[in-house]
Amino acid sequence: MSVSLIFKIAAVGILVSVLSQVLKHSGREEQAFLTSLAGLILVLIWIVPYIYDLFETMRNLFSL
């Protein structure tokens, strides 16, 4: 999960930028914005529990 997270985020980023370009050129501005928003939310869904795990481990390690 750990290293593949980086490549998953990169894949979502490439996909979203291509999709928003296509939608922009075909005149649908809102869909382009919505897709980039969806990409952002997807990345956040992956990253936030990961951040929580990290700080939880840190807390247990240093008995903070």
Partner 1 sequence: MTMMQAAAAAVCAALLAMQFKGQKGEYGIYISIAAGMVICFGILSKLSSILDTIREIGSMIRIEGSYLAILLKMLGITYAAEFASNICRDCGNQTLAVQIELFGKLAVLVLSMPILLALLKTVQAFLT
CA distance 17 to 49: 25
Should residue 52 be labelled a site residue for partner 1 when binding is judged by CB under 8 A?
no
Structure tokens at 2: 């750990």
Should residue 22 be labelled a site residue for partner 1 when binding is judged by CB under 8 A?
no
CA distance 37 to 17: 11
Q: Among residues 22, 26, 38, 59, which is the contact residue for partner 1, using CB under 8 A?
A: 59
Should residue 12 be labelled a site residue for partner 1 when binding is judged by CB under 8 A?
yes
Sort 49 into a burial class: Cβ within 10 Å, 0-12 / 13-18 / 19+: exposed
Residue numbers at the binding site for partner 1 (CB under 8 A): 2-3, 5-7, 9-10, 12-14, 16-17, 21, 36, 39-40, 43, 47, 50-51, 54-55, 57-59, 61-64
